[in-house]
A and B are shown apart, each in its own frame.
Chain A
Amino acid sequence: DAGITQSPRHKVTETGTPVTLRCHQTENHRYMYWYRQDPGHGLRLIHYSYGVKDTDKGEVSDGYSVSRSKTEDFLLTLESATSSQTSVYFCAISESTGEGETQYFGPGTRLLVL
Chain B
Amino acid sequence: AQKVTQAQTEISVVEKEDVTLDCVYETRDTTYYLFWYKQPPSGELVFLIRRNSFDEQNEISGRYSWNFQKSTSSFNFTITASQVVDSAVYFCALPKQGNKLTFGGGTRVLVKP
Contact = CB atoms under 8 A, between A and B. Distances in A.
Interface of A: 31, 33, 35, 40-45, 48, 50, 56, 58, 88, 90, 92, 94, 99-105, 107-108
Contacts of A56: 98
A103 B99 contact: yes
A72 to B, nearest CB: 19
A105 B98 contact: no
Contacts of A58: 100
Top 4 nearest A-B pairs (CB, nearest first) are A42-B103, A105-B45, A101-B99, A43-B103
Contacts of B52: 99-100
Contacts of A48: 98, 100
A103 B101 contact: yes
Contacts, number: 58
Interface string B32-66: 01010100000111010010100000000000000
Interface string B65-104: 0000000000000000000000000010101001111011
A44 B48 CA distance: 19
Where chain B touches its partner, the secondary structure class is strand
Contact of A88 (B9, B33, B43): B43
A92 to B, nearest CB: 8
Contacts of B95: 101, 103
Contact of B100 (A40, A45, A99): A45
| Candidate in A31, A42, A107 with the most chain B CB atoms within 10 angstroms | A42
B59 to A, nearest CB: 13
